[in-house]
Every structure is written in structure tokens, then in C-alpha cells.
Structure 1
Amino acid sequence: MKLRQLVQQHAQTFPWYDALIRESGADAGRLDTLPPMTEALLTRHYYHDQQALPSPVHSYLTSGTRSGQRKCIRYSQHDQQRYLQQRSAIIQHFCGTQYTRACADLGTGHAAATAGQIFKAMGCQVELIDFTLPVDAHVEALNRFQPEIFFTMPMILDRLIASGKLDFQPRKILLLGDVASAHWQASILACFALPPGSILDLYGSIEIGAIAHYRHDIERYVLDDYLLPEVVAPQTIYPDAHHQGCGGLLLLTSFARDYFPAVRFVTDDLIEGFAHEIVDGKPRHTFSRCLGRFASEYKHGEKINLCDISDAIAQHLPLRRYDLDDGNGSLTIRIGGDSVDAATLKAIRHDLLARNPDVAQMIASGLVADIRILCVDAQDIRDQASKRRY
């Protein structure tokens, strides 16, 4: 399918997208003229739209938009089949055929909902761990089932290991959701006494589906071949950004999505080392590493929108400056100025988690660390709290 045909297809499915293309004067056959699909644009037109679609849909919810409502992302049956085929092929090639027990502990979302189907198609016995259970129940399930293939998120795996109670020996570990640095992966291999190449880092999003996977033989991430990627300076999408660091924003156009207008979708992920090269005799797009997220979403098991944090603080501590630190596997909100009474801090935390119930549940289950709120000297607060720091 050519780009013009893809744009026309989405314009026919989504009247708002048709109007957007017309109003912008874009040339449907020229990628650089088409409007980027930002979170603000999709919140206005897609995430909460109840438009009837031509055929049955698979709907998935994720937390946090500026409106305070959860996002709803829809897949057609064809979308779903293409995702399962692509992700299954990568996982099965990595795992081989000798393993028979697979477990997924992924929280919520599209990957969590489809992991069981992928493993069953591989002929595995499958255990899916409910993210609402406390962390000790996750550990008990893993120790009892003894999976050879374990599919999880880095943040969850950290919490499981920190329990000190794990007693199982995975042979292959599949990762999704958080940045998994080379040093972190090396520590996981050492923890489970696994040889190099035993971890598969998958990269995806609920909007696009499968995006890329890490190839140990070339030490690069390879993007799926139905994607047309772009890497642009953050200022291209966010004119007020003052990004001075490495990498650029990844934009994706997908030729494998019917029920999401994936044309120049702004992933808000910073990547570096982007290249177009020959892999296995075919031209492929690759990159060296994902640096994390840019702009207004912070990842704490599930996404927390910056607007939710700002609203909670503005309600209880108006005009107080703050910044955020989401390193070391936790999210810390630092508020500048005089000390704040415990009741106010508790109210801020309560309001924030009320807007992000999946994050609240993952904290209650012990899968991610609690959100910390603390007071610091006002002079220590970093400006531009809404911009990611790389």
C-alpha cells in the first residue's frame, strides 16, 4: 500500500481526520506535509470518540490524558491478526521450540491481553498473573509454575527480585514497557545465571502495536517492516522545548493499522543512532537505543500524565513550584518551599492515584514503588518540569 492510499483509507474511516487533512492543505502523498498525530490532537479527536466502526473491534484502555479520561485504542480484527503474527514470529524465533511453560506478568494493556494467545499458539502451557494480586502472590505463582519463558516489565521484575523469594529458573526473558539498559540487562542475566542473548527486549505501544525488537547479533533495535519511521528534533513537535541532549523524537507511520490513524504518530520516545541499513539481506530501519520518554507523560508501571500531577498540586498547594524525578524505578514529586503538613501531601497523592487507577493498583499490589512526595528548598527546583531530562 502506498502512503496516499493509506491516508485516504484513514480519511474515509475517520471524518475528523479527513477534515484535518483538508484544512491543513497537506499532500496525501508527501509524508512531510501531513500533520503529526500528537497526544493533544488524538485526545481531542480519537481517544474518547465513540464513533461506530465498520467491523467488530478489540478495545484497550490505558490511563491518563489531559482530559482526565482514560484512553481507548481500538483494533480491527485485521489489526489484531497482524499484530499477533508479527509479535509471535519474533518471540517464537527467539525462544525456539524446546520450551513448554510460559508466564506473562505485564500489568494491563494490549500486550498483556494478547500474551496468552501468543504462547498458546507456540504450544506452551500458560500462566497469566493478575496484576491486582500482591507481589507475594506473583512470586508464589512463579515459584509454583516454574516458567521457562517469562514475559514481564523491567519495573515489575525489579520488584519480584527485590522480594528475595523468587525460586525459579527462566531460560528466556521477554521484556516490554520500560527502558531496559544494557547494564540493567547484564545484572538480570547474572541474577538468573543466564548466558548472553537470553533476554529479548521488545518495543511497542498500545497505539501502534509491535514496533521493534533488539537483535543481539547486530546490537541494535530493528523496526518492524510495516512501519515508516521518522526521527525529528523535539522542537519540530514542541516548539517551546529546550532539548539539548542526544537523540530525536520517533514518529511512526504504520501500514498495519485500520482503526488507528497511525500516520506520523508521535511516540514521544527519544531514540538515538537511527539508521537505514541492510539486515539479513534486506533494507531495514534500526536504532541503537531508546533513551526514554519526552514531553508530558511519565511512566510508573502505567503512564501518568503531567497534567494530572499539575492539577493535584494546584488544587492543594497553588502556585508552588515542583519538579519530578522518575529515576531508580520510582516517581518522586519534589515540591519547593516550606514544609507541608502530612494531610496535604496525602491529599495530593490520593487525587493523583484516583485519576490513575491502574497505577494505584500496581502500587497496592507491590509491583511498582509508591509515589513519593517531599519538600525541598525552592532554589533546588528545576525549571521546565514538563520536559524530560536526557
Structure 2
Amino acid sequence: MRIEGFIQKMKEQFPWLLPGHEREELAALPLVTAGKLESHYYTDTNPLLHEPMNRYLTSGTSSKRRKTIFYSESDEEDYLRIKRDVFRTILAGASYRTAMADMGTGHAEATAVEVFRELGMEVESVSFRLPIEEHIERLQSFRPEVLYTMPSILDRIMQASEHPGTYGIQHVILVGEIASPGWRQRTAERLGIAETQVTDTYGSIEIGTIAYFSHDHGRYLFAEGILAEGIQPELLDADLEPLPDVLEQVLVLTSTVRESFPALRYVTYDVVRDLKVIDVDGVPTQSFKSIVKRVGPDLKHGEKISIYDIEDVVYRHLREASVRVQVSGNALTVHVYSALATPAVLNSIREDVENHIPAIGMMIKAKLLDGIQVIGGTFEDSQNRTSVKNKKIFYT
């Protein structure tokens, strides 16, 4: 759909979206922020509540309500088609016959099972809430060639596995969390596959599949129907500070294939690096280098601390490790779970985090952080399966 037609369609579907805006140039339209969605979309008066829609609940808003995201029949069809096309591109050239979705329940998991079947594969699904021993039993018995999962879940599997390469996994498709280059490389090594066989995808329940990592280009390429913009956080909220890296921007998305969500300059609050157009087989294509963090007024130091960068430092020093980052007041603690994390290695990690991640070094000099602790420990799976996403900043 042409952008002009899509803008008009959004005006009709969501009258509150563009009041008084007659111009239809995309860059001239207002941003769809979290506050605007809370006031108009995540409400008990949303007219979509009375229409035959699929509904998906996700984490709460700042008003503590759970968010309901609506999908029309057309939205569902487009979601499945685009996801199938992305998976087909990722797995091109291989004749895989078995796949496992190990990520719990929900829209991404349910649609993945359907997509794998449409690609002619036998597929099984595992809930992330099961004890890790059951995940491993299923991997050993089913031996999926393709594993669709989240980095935190794969961390749990590898922490509990002496030889994860024996499960027969040939390609990993990731979703749901940031996967740094160092993490992807170490994961591939432990599974005994090439780094190009670990592929990250990026999506959200609001938009659907957004992008996937192209190993040929070393960048994330956007999926069909996505138009991307980058803005500075201070344009969203005067209380948000500028990003320290000139290549970093907050990602704003328009999806011309979305019908029941106002996906018109929707603010993701995700920070990407090096958003630009590149040539892909002669076609100008929007892309970015990496997703590094999120911003928001409720994230405290979160707009400056990047899990992506911290993990990348850890994996320069350790081949096998799981990482958790905790902020308490002005104290930043990096928990490193690895049998190889000797005091000397932990000290080297601390020095690298302080000295080689500019944003953290600046925060220490400005007394916004008191310093960094890097602590070794033993990974306890029972403490990590209650939350599916662990690659984030934990505030205490």
C-alpha cells in the first residue's frame, strides 16, 4: 500500500490519531508515543473491543494496566506471510525437516509453529516455564535441526548442558531480546555450528516482524511494509538526555501492513545504531547495525546502560557465560555465571566495562554511578525460569 493511502486509512480507523493534520507527508505527522497509546488505544473505550478481533495481552503500561493489542484477520494473514518469508530467507539453501519452538506461549510461539509447518517441517513446542531438564530431554529425543528461541532460554539450556552440540541443532533463530555479536559467536561455538547459523530477528506484538539479521550484509534488514526513522530521545521527553553515541537513535516505525494498531510513526523506545539505507541486490534498503538498549522516563540509568555492550565485553574474556545486570541506586553490578570466571578474569571484565564503554565511563566520572562490581556465581535455573526475558537491566 502506498504511504498516502495508508495514512488516510489510519485517519479513518483512529480519529484521535491525526486531528487537525491535513498534510500527509510522513515526517510532518505526530509521533505515536506510549502516552498517546495509553490515552486512546489501551483503554476500556477502544471501539476495537466491540469488533471481532484477535486480542493479545502484553506487559503493563505505566498506569499498571496490561496492554491489549488487536489483530484483525488481515493483520494475522500478513503477520504469518511476512514471518514465513523471513524464515524462508534465513533458512535459504538448506533442507531442514524438523524445528522446535522453545519460548513459552503467546503470539510469536503459536505463529512460529504454524509457519514451520507451512515450510514443510515437523515441529514441536516447549514452554519456557518447564524445568530445564525437560527442555533438554525434548531436545535429546526430538533432535530439531532448527531451534526458534530467545537468548535467555538458550542461555539456560547451555548452562545446564555439558555438550550442547550433541542435540543436532543446525540453525538457531532468535527473537525477543538483544543478542550481541559476542554472544552469538560463543553460542555458535558451543553448538558446533557456524556463526552464520545463529540468526537474530527483531519484532514486537504491536508491529509484528520488524527486521532480521543478514549475515551477508552484517546488518539488520527491515521486513516488508516497514518504514523506519530515527529520532533523538529529547524530542520524546525533555527529561531524557541525549544519547552519547552520534550513531544511536530511537527507532520510530511505520508499518503499512498493520490495520488494527496505529502503526504510523510508532515510537518503539528501542535504540539502534547506524540506521541507514544500503544497497541489497540493487535495491535501496533500510537497515541498522544493532539494537543496543531502550529509553524511557521510567528506566533511570537505562537510557545510558547497554546490555548489548556489556555482554560483548564479557564474551571477549569468557567462552561460556551467562550475564545478568543489576542497578541498585547508583551501583551497577554485573553477575557473570561461569565456571571459568576466576577473580582475575572478573577484574579484567570490570576494567573493560569501565574503560571501553564510553557511556558507563562518563557516568562514573559524573558520579551518576559509584563504580561497577563484577561478581561470579553459579547459575540457578529455578531462579530464572519465572521470567522469560533476562537480558535486561534489573532494578532493585
Tell me the TM-score normalised to structure 2 length: 0.74
1:54 Cα shift?
A: 8.3
Aligned to 1:126: 123
Match of 2:39 in 1: 44
Tell me the CA shift for residue 58 of structure 1: 2.0
Q: Tell me the amino acid that sits aligned with residue 32 of structure 2.
A: M
Structure 2 equivalent of residue 260 of structure 1:
261
Change (3 A) 1:367 1:143: farther
Which residue in the other structure is 1:136 paired with?
Answer: 133
Distance 2:104 2:235 in 1: 33
CA 1:95/1:369 → structure 2, altered by over 3 Å: closer, same or farther? closer
Alpha carbons 1:230, 1:252 under 8 Å: kept: yes
1:2 aligned partner: 2
| Post-superposition CA distance 1:50-92 (Å, at most 9, x none) | 4236863221111121111211111111111111111111212
Q: Give the whole-Å Cα distance in 1 for the aligned partners of 2:330 and 2:276.
A: 42
Once the two structures are superposed, what CA deviation does each residue of 1:307-364 show, in whole Å capped at 9, x if it has no partner? xxxxxxxxxxxxxxxx999666435341479xxxxxxxxxxxxxxxxxxxxxxx9945
- 1:272 equivalent to 2:273? Answer yes
Please tell me whether the aligned partners of residues 207 and 263 of structure 2 are also in contact (alpha carbons under 8 angstroms).
Answer: yes
Aligned to 1:332: 326
Counterpart of 1:201? 200
Query: 1:178 matched to which residue of 2?
Result: 177
User: Following superposition of structure 1 onto structure 2, how do residues 1-390 of structure 1 map, counting pairs within 5 Å?
Assistant: 1-14=1-14, 18-22=15-19, 25-49=20-44, 50-52=46-48, 56-96=52-92, 98-164=95-161, 166=164, 167-246=166-245, 247-296=248-297, 329-330=323-324, 332-335=326-329, 363-365=384-386
- Summarize deviations over 1:169-189 as a string: whole Å, max 9, x none: 210100011111111111011
Write the distance in 2 (CA, Å) between the matches of 1:362 and 1:71.
26
Farther-moved stretch of structure 1 (96-105 vs 204-213): 96-105
Asked whether the equivalents of residues 243 and 249 of structure 2 are also in contact (C-alpha less than 8 Å), the reply is: no
Q: Where does the alignment leave 5 or more consecutive residues of structure 1 unmatched?
A: 299-305, 307-322, 338-360, 375-390
CA distance in 2: counterparts of 1:214 and 1:286, whole angstroms: 9
Q: Structure 1 residue 140: deviation in Å?
A: 1.8
The residue matched to 1:258 in structure 2 has which SS?
A: coil
In structure 2, what is the Cα distance between the partners aligned to 1:144 and 1:47? 43
Deviation at 1:192, TM superposition (A): 0.8
Residue range with higher mean Cα deviation, 149-158 or 85-94: 85-94
**Residues 1:28 and 1:156: Cα distance change in structure 2 (over 3 Å):** farther
In 2, the alpha carbon distance for the partners of 1:133 and 1:230 equals 39
Cα distance, 1:373 vs structure 2: 7.0
Contact 1:324 1:332 in 2 (8 A): no
Does the 8 Å CA contact 1:250/1:266 hold for their aligned counterparts? Answer: yes
Q: In 2, are the aligned partners of 1:102 and 1:150 still within 8 Å (CA)?
A: yes
Percent sequence identity over aligned pairs: 33
Distance 1:256 1:71 in 2: 21
The one-letter amino acid paired with 1:141 is R
Shift of 1:268: 0.6
Contact 2:177/2:389 (CA < 8 Å) preserved in 1? no
Please tell me whether the aligned partners of residues 274 and 287 of structure 1 are also in contact (alpha carbons under 8 angstroms): yes
CA distance in 1, matches of 2:136, 2:35: 39
- Structure 2 CA distance, aligned partners of 1:335 and 1:160? 32
8 Å Cα contact 1:324-1:334 kept in structure 2: no
CA pair 228-178 structure 1, distance change in 2 beyond 3 A: same
1:182-204 CA-partner distances (Å, limit 9, x unpaired) = 11111011101112311111111
The count of aligned residue pairs is 324
The alignment's C-alpha RMSD in Å is 2.8
> Structure 1 length as normaliser, TM-score?
0.75
Decide which moves more: 45-54 or 121-130: 45-54
Within 2, Cα distance between the matches of 1:278 and 1:4? 25
Q: Partners of 2:293 and 2:394 in 1: how far apart?
A: 21
Unaligned runs of 5+ in 2: 312-322, 332-381
Corresponding position of 1:379: none
Change (3 A) 1:283 1:7: same
Q: 1:12 to 1:123 in 2, by over 3 A?
A: same
